[in-house]
Amino acid sequence: MPPRRSARVQGASSSSGSSAGLGAGSSPAPGSAGARSSSPPSPPAPGSPELSSGDSGSDFEDTLRLRSKRGPHRALSHGPVPKRPRRREPSGDGSSPATSSPEQNTLFEAVRSAKIAVETVVDDWLETYKQDRETGFLELVNFIIRSCGCRGVVTPEMFRHLQNSEIIQQLTEKFQEDSAEYPLSLGTQPWRRFRAGFCELVAAVVRRCQYSVVYDEFLMDALISLLTGLSDSQVRAFRHTSTLAGRRLPGGLPGAPHGGPRSHRATLPAMKLMTALVNVALGVSLHQENNQRQYEAERSKGPSRRATDKLEALLEKRRELQEQQEEIENMMNAIFKGVFVHRYRDIVPEIRAICMEELGMWMRSYAASFLTDGYLKYIGWTLHDKQREVRLQCVKALQGLYCCRDTAAHMELFTSRFKTRMVSMVLDKEPDVAVEVVKLLTLMLENMEEALTEEDCQSVYPVVYVSSRALASAAGLFLYRRLLDPQREASREPSRDGDNRTFFRLLLAFFIESELHEHAAYLVDSLWDCAGPRLRDWETISALLLEESPTEGLADRQEKALVEILAASVVQAAEGQPPVGRGPAKKPSARERKAQVEERTRLTHCLIPALPQLLAKFSADAEKAAPLLEVLHCFDLSIYCTGRMEKHLELVLGQLQEVVEKHAGQAVLEAASRALHALCDPELALRGRGDLVRSRLADQLADKFHQEVTELLQASSLDEEEVYSMAATLKRISVLFNAHDLTPWQLFEPCAQLLQRAVDTGEVPPQVLVPAVTCLHFHILWELSHLPSTSVPQEQLQSLKTRVTSFCSLCQSCLSDVDAGVREQAFVVLSDLLLVFGPQLPRDGREALAPLVLLPEAGLQSQLAAFLMDHVFHPACSHEELSATEDSESHIEELHQRRVLLAGFCKLIIYDVLELSAASDVFKHYAKFYSDYGDIIKETLNCTRQIDRQEWARTLLLSLQQLMTELLLQQGPEIRAAEAFLEIRDLARRFSLLFSLHQLRNRPALLSMHKEGIQFAFQEPPGPGPGLPPLNLPFLEVLSEFSPRLLRPDKALLLAYLEKTCQERQWLAPRDAPWPSLVTYRNSLQLQEEGGSASSRSSAPRPHPLPGSAAKRPRLDAPSEHPSSSPWPSSRLPSPALTSTALRGGPRPPLRWPPARDPGSDPGLLQSSSLSRRRSRTNRLSLMVEEEEEEKDEVAIEEESNEENTPEQDRTLPASQDRLRDLFDSTILGIEDA
């Protein structure tokens, strides 16, 4: 029998000298009732000064000490901890100095090798402990220390004569490791096994010792005391654990500097020890219940049958179990107050997350002691944490509690206190957190019926329309359980058909009354996982739509919504992909493809008989007919033949022809055209019937169009009915022309006559002209598709080329039309034709089509660029201008149309139809219109860079020069103080970020850019008066934004070239008043050792190379050559010409200057402080080196160099540019100022 103890361990004080803790409110001991806190105070934010382990005001208020076994207490040494020298990073094979120690640790080596079962290792250690408990205990302690990456060893002399605080102090001094990694954080396979073995060993030690050694008054007391001291240590290496780093990202922490994981060590043993003790306490509690039942059963026997000895033994066993229970609860209380209360708000997010995870596990395992408000409050407080992983663990812990009605019944007070926070987290910025929150609310809905009010549920319903499919599916399950489940209140299960009718009526009521969204596809996708079988009940949907009963039938809005739901569910079942915008399309597996084929066959058999009836009923309504025609694409059309359903095919074709003849709307005509194209598929057995219907339609439309064109050309004026009739006919023809070859009906000549009449007289209405242009465009494309690749008759080539040339000339004339629709359609058609008939046409075996290549003339290129400037990049089109007005659907459609125009122009540049220099008209608006067109311009920048880096760099320079010239013409020579000039500098800074990687490949382009920029700055004559600079000289400040991307030899080379240019032009600045732009550019080219001598320069030298990066980054730090020895590009950049037809510039807002520097401050002192700040920043950057992120670190260093080599007053940008941060911004590349 193990020695009995009194309740001696009431708590464990921090052996590192921190007897006071963190003021988090008192917490009851495990097993005690605990006062229920109705409104617990909010804890301090993580990272605040209150998070240090030495603060006062903790739950651990009483300074309770364990039985002393260390000898007299000695005063702590308060001297500073010596700085640890830097050493190389550890390798993954275990040979790192950070993971090696002078003495071999048996437990460490056994766990690391993973060749022996953990139970066997623990049994061997337990034998050692029973023989000499001090030796066994030190072996376990050194195993934990070794797992932290510390080289120190706790010797028997230290253990006998030193306090825990002094032991920790000595271990801190021996913690001589320089790496951001340590054994438990390494991501290689051996160390991943070590992490799992580490956690298993801690649990196995307690499990194997739970009947004897746990109560020996030595092991657990000493271990808890030491772990409490380590967890309260100011050294983070002893305070944290690496388990979470291993669970998240191997070798580093997500979102944290690489110095963070070093401190991830000693909380894990304490938390895992606590979890093991909870399991022991649970076992003791079960033994107590069994003992009580045995005792009651024995007492219930009669006096003659009752065994007195057995009753006494049971009573003795009960007292023993009660004492063991008290012992275990005291140990758990000591760990909770000594470790958890301090670490649950640690400054490192991973520590806080693992505390919440373990707390949730304790509550689920041992609800009798831990499922009280005194412990639940910690989870409630931490729901407000700023870090994703912490909030995620809190929500998952709550899911384990709300998933059972028994545990959920004990959480009424917690729910009332923190329900508002949980509901608000549905809109969490992290999608994975929001997904778990919605799942949590679903569990609350199932197990606490009255917990969520209707107002709370209204916050979840809109989430079914979000773009994240996981979040939308979770919200769909919530919606289904709350509103749409027909059996949620029924005591018995009704019939399947009745259930589905009820389901669809409830779904329609939600979809219509909520008015949250108008696209049913997203609602169907959200409900697909939980209500898919109901949504695939095509028979019930068809029956509901075909009902004519005034009482049972549906209203008009309900019919429209149900038709949309039918179409969306059919598409979802046939394609198996989410709707557009809700995640990327996934590749289905073989089983999923087979299921899709079976589902497609089933829906085809169900809907083929119903579709003609539905079209007959709703053909007059375009909004209902269009979705029904889209359903036809999802059919297995071969079933019309194999299933003997030709009659239904005839009915569908008749209804389709009727829809085309009735409607002129774009959407319904496009749906009909696609449906007819599917029925005319050459591989379809019954395609002849579709061809017949198509020929009938084409004959009717062509005859009517020829007649109406003749009347229009002969008549002096047309009434509205005639114009509407011709516009409707042309619209039907243009839509059919998109998918069907209508060239045999000879529609080119009449459409060309209409277009020529419009150009000559302007009498053709726009509603007629736009579809006429579309018909001509499709006619040319169909003719091109008919040409063979080889042996093309010259007559066909000449005829087609003549038509293309004349049509492009007419479209060019339409670019200046007064109607916006005509202008935009002409621009789109021109862009497409220039691309189709571009230089790539005769490639890939089509050399015979070379005479058809259409190259745009200079006038057409200028007109296209001017159209772009006037109608796409006009100031009235900017996002800021539109945001000031009503953000309506029309503005969104206009923005989409402008994006189409810009994309068409950019494709001409990318595919070498237009010269690369034409992209300057696009690039110069990158920053100003980033919110509208940033993605298009960014992709164009990336694609054009791959074509020709030198010409691409000249184009960037040309765009900056054009902006500079425009600004000089608008505001005169004094532009340095203008906000527009700062915007140009910001644009240059964004362009410079494109040169961050591949410095050697970018070197010639950068040199050419700087040389031509210097020539541009000095090409204009100076203003009147002596000592005035050249007009373009401020451009040197714009050019200085590219200087940080230069290599050191090139900086010296450019500096010499700058001086030479100044001397050749004989433009020397006055000595008493140097030109600021020239000084700024010269300073940006100063070498490292000369940076401190410039009086107007406040930048610091380049950061030192990071440890271990010397072999990674090739540097060209050779002595600089003479300027004449460098191969300068011989091309000379012409003076930039303005592309737009008008200069647009209004009054600009006043410039916001940064606060002026104190005139009495010492420049040397300012420079010294700047140097110290940058050195500390460099030290932080040195922790961010990783082997697998070499190029990212190069970008980070170059971004830091950019900040250092640019004067502070020259980097002042307008506050309005802050929201224009993009992927080229240095903050996105990983550089964050502390």
**DSSP string of 257-296?**
-TTGGGG--SHHHHHHHHHHHHHHHHHHHHHHHHHHHHHH
Amino acid at 506: L
**Residue 897 pLDDT > 90:** yes
- Spell out the SS3 assignment of 197-234: HHHHHHHHHHHHHCCCHHHCCCHHHHHHHHHHHHHCCC
| pLDDT score for 879 | 52
Share of the chain above pLDDT 90, in %: 42
What is the mean predicted confidence (pLDDT) over 608-630?
A: 94
What is the mean predicted confidence (pLDDT) over 368-392?
A: 93
More confident of the two residues 489 and 106:
106
**pLDDT grade for 1070, boundaries at 50, 70 and 90:** low
Ranges of H-type helices in 300-404 = 308-335, 341-343, 349-365, 367-370, 373-382, 388-402
**Closest listed residue to residue 155, CA positions, set 175, 132, 171:** 171
**Residue 748 pLDDT > 60:** yes
**pLDDT grade for 463, boundaries at 50, 70 and 90:** very high
| pLDDT score for 238 | 54
Ranges of H-type helices in 815-948 = 820-836, 858-871, 879-883, 889-910, 920-923, 930-947
Distance of CA 914 to the CA centre of its chain: 35
Q: Tokens 């020996």 belong to which residue? A: 216
**Residue 462 pLDDT > 90:** yes
What is the mean predicted confidence (pLDDT) over 1107-1122?
A: 38
Question: Radius of gyration of the chain from Cα atoms?
Answer: 39
Alpha-carbon span 1038 to 977, nearest angstrom: 13
Alpha-carbon span 21 to 60, nearest angstrom: 6
| pLDDT score for 949 | 92
Residue 753, both tokens? 């006559």
Sign of the C-alpha dihedral computed for residues 569, 575, 579 and 584 taken in this order? positive
Alpha-carbon span 1076 to 1073, nearest angstrom: 8
**Closest listed residue to residue 183, CA positions, set 237, 256, 118:** 237
What is the mean predicted confidence (pLDDT) over 664-673?
A: 94
More confident of the two residues 642 and 264:
642
What is the mean predicted confidence (pLDDT) over 111-119?
A: 81
pTM: 0.71
- The string over 1142-1162, giving b where at least 16 C-beta atoms fall within 10 Å of a residue's C-beta and e elsewhere, is eeeeeeeeeeeeeeeeeeeee
For residue 1030, the SS3 value is: strand
Alpha-carbon span 914 to 920, nearest angstrom: 12
**Residue 811 pLDDT > 50:** yes
**pLDDT grade for 95, boundaries at 50, 70 and 90:** very low
Residue 3 near residue 216, CB atoms below 8 Å: yes
Residue 533, both tokens? 């079988």
More confident of the two residues 790 and 669:
669
Bridge partners, residue 1030, by sequence: 1022
pLDDT tens for each residue of 1184-1199 = 333 334 344 444 334 3
- The string over 392-410, giving b where at least 16 C-beta atoms fall within 10 Å of a residue's C-beta and e elsewhere, is bbbbbbbbbbbbeeebbee
| pLDDT score for 1232 | 35
Alpha-carbon span 840 to 181, nearest angstrom: 53
**Closest listed residue to residue 147, CA positions, set 177, 115, 116, 189:** 177
More confident of the two residues 486 and 381:
381
What is the mean predicted confidence (pLDDT) over 334-348?
A: 84
pLDDT tens for each residue of 733-743 = 999 999 999 99
For residue 1022, the SS3 value is: strand
**Residue 160 pLDDT > 80:** yes
Lowest-confidence range among 418-432, 867-881, 1044-1058? Answer: 867-881
330: left (phi over 0), alpha (psi -120 to 50) or beta: alpha
| pLDDT score for 1100 | 35
What is the mean predicted confidence (pLDDT) over 495-519?
A: 82
**Residue 239 pLDDT > 50:** no
Lowest-confidence range among 69-73, 117-121, 576-580, 801-805? Answer: 69-73
**pLDDT grade for 1180, boundaries at 50, 70 and 90:** very low
**pLDDT grade for 489, boundaries at 50, 70 and 90:** low
Stretch (H or E) spanning 622: helix 622-631
**Residue 650 pLDDT > 90:** yes
Lowest-confidence range among 160-174, 282-296, 338-352, 903-917? Answer: 160-174
**Residue 1135 pLDDT > 60:** no
**What letter would DSSP give residue 347?**
S
| pLDDT score for 1212 | 36
What is the mean predicted confidence (pLDDT) over 1145-1162?
A: 37
Bridge partners, residue 1022, by sequence: 1030
| pLDDT score for 301 | 82
255: left (phi over 0), alpha (psi -120 to 50) or beta: left
Amino acid at 1017: A
| pLDDT score for 55 | 36
Mean pLDDT taken over the chain: 76
| pLDDT score for 827 | 96
| pLDDT score for 268 | 64
More confident of the two residues 1118 and 490:
490
**pLDDT grade for 996, boundaries at 50, 70 and 90:** confident
**pLDDT grade for 390, boundaries at 50, 70 and 90:** very high
**pLDDT grade for 22, boundaries at 50, 70 and 90:** very low
| pLDDT score for 61 | 35
pLDDT tens for each residue of 793-803 = 888 899 999 99
The total of other beta-carbon atoms located within 10 Å of residue 262's CB is 24
| pLDDT score for 346 | 83
**pLDDT grade for 183, boundaries at 50, 70 and 90:** low
| pLDDT score for 267 | 61
For 63, list phi and psi in degrees, rounded to 5: -80, 90
More confident of the two residues 173 and 74:
173
Alpha-carbon span 29 to 283, nearest angstrom: 18
**pLDDT grade for 1226, boundaries at 50, 70 and 90:** very low
Lowest-confidence range among 410-414, 637-641, 1026-1030, 1224-1228? Answer: 1224-1228
**What letter would DSSP give residue 1140?**
S
Lowest-confidence range among 558-562, 831-835, 1072-1076? Answer: 1072-1076
pLDDT tens for each residue of 703-742 = 999 999 998 888 777 788 889 999 999 999 999 999 999 9
- Spell out the SS3 assignment of 649-713: HHHHHHHHHHHHHHCCCHHHHHHHHHHHHHHCCCCCCCHHHHHHHHHHHHHHHHHHHHHHHHHHH
Q: Tokens 């020579």 belong to which residue? A: 973
**Residue 776 pLDDT > 50:** yes
What is the mean predicted confidence (pLDDT) over 649-653?
A: 94
Residue 335 near residue 270, CB atoms below 8 Å: yes
Q: Tokens 């963070």 belong to which residue? A: 260
